[in-house]
Amino acid sequence: MTESTSLEPHQRARQPKQKEQRREAILTAAFEMFIANQNKLPTVAQIASECGLAKGTAYLYFETKEAIFLALYEQQQTAWLQSIEKRLRYSEEDKLQQWQEAFLSFREQQPHLWALAALSYSALEPALKQNELLAYRARTANRLQHCCRELERLLGRSDERVYPTLLSTIAFTIGQWQQSFPLNSVKSLNQNSAVKQLQPDFYQSLAAVLPLLWQPLFARQEQKTPDAKGLSRWFGR
């Protein structure tokens, strides 16, 4: 008879599946708390309480709250990149448009991706130990390189510009997110007409800049560059 892997909060996780179940419960609770309030990260104790665990139990899986939210970001980023790769495997006539729509797929599937990404660079990574940071960066580089191989397949050639252009696109997206969705303390100031223009529209900015960043790589495809209006329509605007 197979032993059940279901787990109650008061039970000790012994089997690998039970430990993974408990880890996911911690991440789920943390993510729900993050969605409810992105201005302040909950403590490990608060996250543990949210999913009915003792604080000490949560520390068996994550040493810090930063480690919890970095794991969440990795989950979100992995799902997003896998979605991109899946979309890129279906060749279409307008490959530049296909790539950009794949990049923008986060709006429906990972709407909190860039909030976590911005947090990663500003608060989460600096809290890691050096060996943890190196391991995290190596995993990130591996995921991005895998995505670049799919992009090169779409292009029909190897191109050394793909990886740095992807990094630049991600950096731009994080920066735009930070400006477009500031913390509440800054958001109230941005209602002032004198500084309101400093808060750009995140989706319109991406729609305008993505073609500029990527069109040179797709130039050999002799395709028409998608305009900002076309991408804005894809965003539902």
- Asked if residue 80 and residue 41 are part of one domain, the reply reads no
Confidence grade of residue 223 (pLDDT, cut at 50, 70, 90)? very low
Please compute the mean of the pLDDT values over residues 121-147 and round it to a whole number. Answer: 95
- Asked, for residue 155, whether it belongs to a domain, the answer is yes
82 assigned to some structural domain: yes
Domain for residue 123, yes or no? yes
Residue 67 lies inside a defined structural domain of this protein: no
Q: Could you read off the pLDDT of 81-120 as tens digits, one per residue?
A: 999 999 998 877 789 999 999 999 999 899 999 999 999 9
Mean pLDDT throughout 160-176?
96
Cα–Cα dist 56/62, whole Å: 10
Number of domains within the chain: 2
Domain closes at, from 39, 62, 85: 62
**What pLDDT, in 10s, does the model give residues 27-47?**
999 999 999 998 889 999 999
User: How many other CB atoms are there within 10 angstroms of residue 149's CB atom?
Assistant: 14
Which strand (E) or helix (H) includes residue 81?
Answer: helix 65-88
What is the residue range of 142's domain? 72-186+194-234
Residues 168 and 139 in one domain: yes
Q: Is-contact 155 95, C-beta < 8 A?
A: yes
Residues 146 and 218 in one domain: yes
pLDDT value at residue 18: 86
The verdict on 94 and 1 lying in the same domain is: no
Residue 68 has pLDDT above 80, yes or no: yes
Please tell me whether residues 23 and 57 are part of one structural domain. yes
Q: Report d(CA 237, CA 234) in Å as an integer.
A: 7
78 and 44 within one domain? no
Categorize the per-residue pLDDT at 195 as very low, low, confident or very high, splitting at 50, 70 and 90: low
Tell me: do 54 and 90 sit in the same domain: no
Which has more pLDDT, 190 or 216?
216
- Beta strand residue intervals within 49-116, DSSP E: none
Residue 114 is which amino acid? W
Note the pLDDT of residue 185: 53
Mean pLDDT, the chain, whole residue set: 85
Q: Is residue 173 in a domain?
A: yes
User: Residues in the chain, how many?
Assistant: 237
Residue 235 reports pLDDT greater than 60: no
Q: Is residue 151 domain-shared with residue 224, that is, in the same domain?
A: yes
Least confident range of 17-26, 57-66, 175-184: 175-184
CATH number, position 12: 1.10.10
Residue where one domain finishes, among candidates 28, 43, 62: 62
- The verdict on 56 and 154 lying in the same domain is no
* Domain annotation covers residue 29: yes
Same domain (yes/no): 14, 123: no
User: How far from chain centre, in Å, is Cα 228?
Assistant: 23
Whether residues 55 and 78 share a domain: the answer is: no
DSSP string spanning 131-189?
A: HHHHHHHHHHHHHHHHHHHHHHHHHTS--TTHHHHHHHHHHHHHHHHHHHS--HHHHTG
Task: Tell me, yes or no, whether 112 lies in a domain.
Answer: yes
Q: Which amino acid makes up residue 139?
A: R
Give pLDDT, residue 19: 87
Residues 4 and 83 in one domain: no
Last residue of a domain, one of 17, 43, 62: 62
pLDDT at 79: 96
pLDDT at 93: 78
Mean pLDDT of 124-132: 94
Q: What is the pLDDT of residues 143-158, one digit of tens each?
A: 999 999 999 999 999 9
DSSP 28: H
